Structure 1
């Protein structure tokens, strides 16, 4: 193809149209320019402050202007002013950000200014090697990818997971291990921290035993159905008060039986216990509530060959795992979203779905970041 020489006026017109954000195709059609490469080169020279090259002859693109003495005083002044303009623009950005020029800030600056100036010129102004920039850019891209994943995990689990559980899920998604401190910093940066529950303090009552405390806060079990924990909690979220009686297997934290009823009575507790087959000599730990110290409960446990154990009076920490479960249930559903408070049927449905999710999906740190059922199946 025969080369065509374009006037300086045509080249300046191209720059004016590019500044007005006209497309390259539109510029070529309007000014009758054959090559897209020429338009791109002129725009590149302008962004680099090399408009003196508009006067160069055809075939001199790579040698023209290398010797600064060839520039006229007017062209040299234009080039100097262009450089000063770029420096002023860049350092104003740095000042507005209010941070030192670290890798993340450099990448952010280049992204903001690369449509106005060339990447090469920005890096020269900042006195940063090109190789450093692209290494930093790749690192920042990785950080952005991790941040997006962390935000999604927190949102999917309704901000009920702390940084340790989030770290475990992030590491499942990425081959490269992400440090938990880094995950914590990102969660703090975007205010993604787990919803903190208020701590409750109760003065322990005097030690009064209806049955000995055989557990003594040692909630470890070597196999399923070796140690069970049971308790009742209030559900004041419907049209009337409801009560949840549940039994937890200490081996993996799984809720193996539960019953929801309108009364905190003996039938509620006994019906919960009758849902499951329990091997003889299994320890069943509870508090000293009247339903657990009753004759009916004592006889039922004796018939099933269950060994009873009871917390000290007024000391919920003696039955901590199931107390914690009941607290998590309320914090991660009703307390987190007050709009869930509705009819009794809706409350029951929410509790049942939470228990199903708790057993099958919700990971636990003490289980190696597995759900209770996953842990039980893996151990088997």
Structure 2
């Protein structure tokens, strides 16, 4: 591809040499004669040479129609149309013709001078060869092919066992009896019909049932065979289709009767979709199964999985980078009291906390929650636009407010700067809470809290477009989710109950 500057230089030198292509190309070493001619004609018509980026621009619908109309009215020649209009490429013009004037494009001719026919045209030519009253040469001329091609197609379609050889001294000549010839023609017609039926069955199997074209029909189920037969009954008799697919007539009508009956799980499909949609589209098959069981319906978990697969009910999952609040060793770190033991026998024994970031087009939002290890309930949370001391201190004050005088839980966090400032430390000491910290850069030490953030973002944040959503609106949606998480969202580890319902079932205050 030559640059715009090179093409301008070539045209100017061509004009200087009184349009002598040989001298221009000899001095510059480029381009070809046709390219130079095209550049000069473009320069004369437009007064300037089109830049490369202009050549790649899209054409309007009117330009497409002008090009196709010129092609149809002037001999259907691609080259002639492109030379006359100056656009587009052969490939592009071919696509335009197929789009605006289907079946009007001239078929390309091979080097042998013979037309390239479709499979359907080949089949018609073979049938005409077999039932002809004229010579084979006449049939070949009619279809613009050679006699050799006709007999080659006949061999491919009918097989060698039905081949009738001619014009060989060591082979038997055809009978002159007209009745024998007609009998042989009928046999060939039946063979062609049979082959065409096989082709159509394989094509329909690939199109409707999504089977490979080389599939063994005997390995297909009766339900698949019934669907295949129904698709071809307009073209072929039922008895032929039954014989070809190998399905008994009684089995075929039984499958039709079963397919016409209303689906067994039609109401269940609506219930599964409703549970999925009303729960923020974040329930997998286990929680959907548990929710339906809680409704009083008895159904197999495998049925739920199959319905979700057929209805394309999929929970979107996406991973994003984690917010990091580490700012160095501000104050001495404390011991890891939790030691990755996130199990608690009762509420308000072990609390976990951390900060996570949400990045939306309107800006950044930060969430600071406290998670109870007993049942995963969010004890308190604060949402803000800055990960400052006020964010975490307010959250801690709200959490302390729900404690009784006898409750002094362990509060585990990472080594973020928020949990090492004087305000946080003094609030912990005044409430007699026990501090616990993870190792530096060791997220598994606080994996239960990290897991909560992952579930929250997969169910509420990822897979949605937040374009046009304000910071305030997003904060309200996040707050609604956390309330739903505590009151309505079921957890399989809690027996299919929400955290608050689980606490009430055990007699704890919620």
Using structure 1 for the length normalisation, give the TM-score: 0.62
Given candidates 292, 296, 308, the residue that maps to 2:435 is 308
**CA gap 1:335/1:138 in 2 versus in 1, 3 angstroms:** same
Distance in 2 (CA, whole Å) between partners of 1:138 and 1:283 is 63
Given candidates 131, 145, 157, the residue that maps to 2:279 is 157
**CA gap 1:138/1:322 in 2 versus in 1, 3 angstroms:** farther
Given candidates 293, 299, 302, the residue that maps to 1:177 is 299
- 1:366 CA drift (Å): 1.6
Given candidates 259, 263, 270, the residue that maps to 2:393 is 270
- 1:210 CA drift (Å): 1.0
Conserved? CA contact 1:362–1:370, under 8 Å: yes
SS in 2 for 1:288: coil
Given candidates 101, 123, 127, the residue that maps to 2:248 is 127
SS in 1 for 2:424: helix
- 1:103 CA drift (Å): 6.6
Conserved? CA contact 2:353–2:371, under 8 Å: yes
Conserved? CA contact 1:106–1:133, under 8 Å: no
RCO comparison, higher one (Cα < 8 Å, 6+) = 1
Distance in 2 (CA, whole Å) between partners of 1:132 and 1:307 is 71
Q: Deviations over 1:58-115 (max 9, x none)?
A: xxxxxxxxxxxxxxxxxxxxxxxxxxxxxx8x9797675356654754786899899x
Conserved? CA contact 1:209–1:310, under 8 Å: no
1:335 lines up with 2:457 in the alignment: no
What is residue 114 of structure 2 aligned with on the other side?
A: none
SS in 1 for 2:368: strand
Distance in 2 (CA, whole Å) between partners of 1:139 and 1:266 is 65
Distance in 2 (CA, whole Å) between partners of 1:247 and 1:104 is 55
SS in 1 for 2:263: helix
- 1:158 CA drift (Å): 4.1
- 1:261 CA drift (Å): 2.4
Conserved? CA contact 2:318–2:462, under 8 Å: no
Q: Deviations over 1:317-368 (max 9, x none)?
A: 2222322223333333333212366222112111111111111122222222
Q: Which moved more, 1:95-104 or 1:161-170?
A: 95-104
Given candidates 332, 339, 342, the residue that maps to 1:216 is 339
Conserved? CA contact 1:220–1:250, under 8 Å: yes
Distance in 1 (CA, whole Å) between partners of 2:369 and 2:378 is 7
- 1:288 CA drift (Å): 1.0
Conserved? CA contact 2:360–2:466, under 8 Å: no
Conserved? CA contact 2:316–2:462, under 8 Å: no
Write out aligned runs for 1:360-375 (5 A).
Answer: 360-375=487-502
Distance in 2 (CA, whole Å) between partners of 1:170 and 1:108 is 33
Using structure 2 for the length normalisation, give the TM-score: 0.48
Q: Deviations over 1:1-60 (max 9, x none)?
A: xxxxxxxxxxxxxxxxxxxxxxxxxxxxxxxxxxxxxxxxxxxxxxxxxxxxxxxxxxxx
What is residue 316 of structure 2 aligned with on the other side?
A: 195
Q: How large is the Cα RMSD of the aligned pairs?
A: 4.3
What is residue 282 of structure 1 aligned with on the other side?
A: 409
1:235 lines up with 2:358 in the alignment: yes
**CA gap 1:159/1:137 in 2 versus in 1, 3 angstroms:** same
- 1:369 CA drift (Å): 2.1
Distance in 2 (CA, whole Å) between partners of 1:154 and 1:268 is 33
- 1:235 CA drift (Å): 3.0
SS in 1 for 2:503: helix
Q: Which moved more, 1:105-114 or 1:320-329?
A: 105-114
**CA gap 1:313/1:281 in 2 versus in 1, 3 angstroms:** same
Conserved? CA contact 1:225–1:282, under 8 Å: yes
Stretches of structure 1 that go unaligned for 5 or more consecutive residues are 1-87, 115-121
Given candidates 480, 484, 496, the residue that maps to 1:353 is 480
- 1:238 CA drift (Å): 6.2
Write out aligned runs for 1:289-300 (5 A).
Answer: 289-300=416-427
Distance in 1 (CA, whole Å) between partners of 2:281 and 2:486 is 18
Distance in 1 (CA, whole Å) between partners of 2:503 and 2:232 is 55
Distance in 1 (CA, whole Å) between partners of 2:201 and 2:498 is 51
Q: Which moved more, 1:305-314 or 1:339-348?
A: 339-348
What is residue 142 of structure 1 aligned with on the other side?
A: 264
* Structure index of larger Rg: 2
Conserved? CA contact 1:153–1:166, under 8 Å: yes
Distance in 2 (CA, whole Å) between partners of 1:104 and 1:144 is 19
Write out aligned runs for 1:243-262 (5 A).
Answer: 243-262=366-385
SS in 2 for 1:349: helix
- 1:174 CA drift (Å): 6.4
